[in-house]
């Protein structure tokens, strides 16, 4: 599985793989969050020795896309699941990959792994996932790229109306579906972990910070304390990608990278176990 640590869509899959224990059968490669100057449609393995992915033997993710389709000329996206036998990209569906892993890879999932898509909750999980996708995951980006003041306000209001609703929901239960983590918790977490650092500051989604929501903030810290979440959360990569203009050489355009907020507050204690057991 090829991903970038900055990307919330790819971050979902990295967390899901580790939670399901599939890291024993699915290796992962990480692309550089910054691209070479002038390149807008590909991702590169410049974090690896020799700028080559050690498993696939390629310099850029685009090579794996073109092995799957020699005529492919669109942007290459992460996450990308690659068949190591053929070197071809076989799946890049960020929105459904965790669900597919939970359903189709059961023979590789240890008994101790959480059931991220329990049968009795599937319709409810799907419904809430759609809400989170449109009102949180997409909406923060749409607000930041608003085409007018009215357009920006529409998405801004959508985000904070939904955050207020989630704050109330999490007042009475540890996770979005009671005492068990499901895939929708992952979907929400990846935006929450970027909220104060990226969306509040850069995308003008600035009515309130995540830390101003007691239940949401403690919920996010509770998830961060789980290795599958915390180990796959890289604030420095987020800073690089969202605050460096990666299509221009560094020396050509000075950049100011925000030093805050303080990442160490994610390590502070949360109250979720005390409140809900």
Residues with catalytic annotation? Answer: 7
φ/ψ region of 178 (left if φ > 0, alpha if ψ in -120 to 50, else beta) reads left
- Alpha helices, DSSP H only, in the chain? 8-19, 61-68, 97-104, 122-132, 138-144, 149-169, 183-194, 214-224, 227-230, 235-243, 272-276
Q: How many CA atoms lie within 13 A of 176 on its CB side?
A: 25
Contact 64, 77 (CB under 8 A): no
Residues 6 or more apart in contact with residue 260 via CB below 8 angstroms: none
- R_g of the chain computed on alpha carbons: 19
Cα three-residue angle 196-198-202, rounded to 5 degrees: 110
Could you give the maximum distance between any two Cα atoms of the chain, in Å? 56
First CA to last CA across the chain, in angstroms? 34
**Residue 254 CB neighbours (<10 A):** 6
């Amino acid at each position: 599985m090829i991903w970038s640590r900055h990307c919330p869509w790819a971050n979902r899959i990295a967390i899901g793989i580790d939670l399901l224990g599939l890291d024993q059968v699915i290796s992962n490669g990480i692309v550089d969050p910054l691209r070479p100057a002038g390149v807008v449609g590909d991702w590169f393995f410049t974090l690896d020795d020799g700028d080559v992915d050690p498993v696939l033997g390629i310099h850029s993710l685009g090579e794996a896309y073109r092995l799957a389709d020699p005529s492919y000329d669109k942007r290459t996206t992460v996450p990308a699941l690659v068949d190591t036998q053929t070197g071809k990209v076989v799946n890049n569906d960020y929105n459904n990959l965790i669900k597919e892993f939970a359903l189709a890879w059961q023979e590789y999932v240890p008994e101790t792994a959480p059931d991220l898509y329990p049968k009795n909750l599937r319709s409810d999980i799907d419904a809430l996932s759609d809400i989170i996708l449109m009102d949180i995951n997409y909406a923060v980006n749409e607000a930041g790229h608003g085409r007018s003041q009215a357009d920006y306000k529409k998405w801004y209001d959508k985000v904070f109306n939904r955050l207020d609703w989630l704050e109330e929901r999490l007042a009475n239960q540890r996770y979005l579906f009671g005492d068990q983590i499901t895939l929708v918790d992952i979907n929400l977490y990846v935006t929450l972990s970027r909220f104060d650092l990226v969306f509040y500051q850069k995308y003008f989604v600035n009515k309130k910070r995540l830390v101003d929501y007691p239940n949401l903030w403690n919920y996010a810290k509770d998830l961060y304390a789980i290795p599958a979440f915390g180990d796959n959360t890289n604030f420095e990569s987020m800073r690089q990608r969202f605050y460096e203009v990666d299509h221009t050489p560094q020396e050509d355009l000075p950049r100011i990278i925000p030093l805050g907020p303080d990442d160490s507050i994610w390590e502070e204690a949360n109250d979720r176990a005390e409140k809900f057991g």
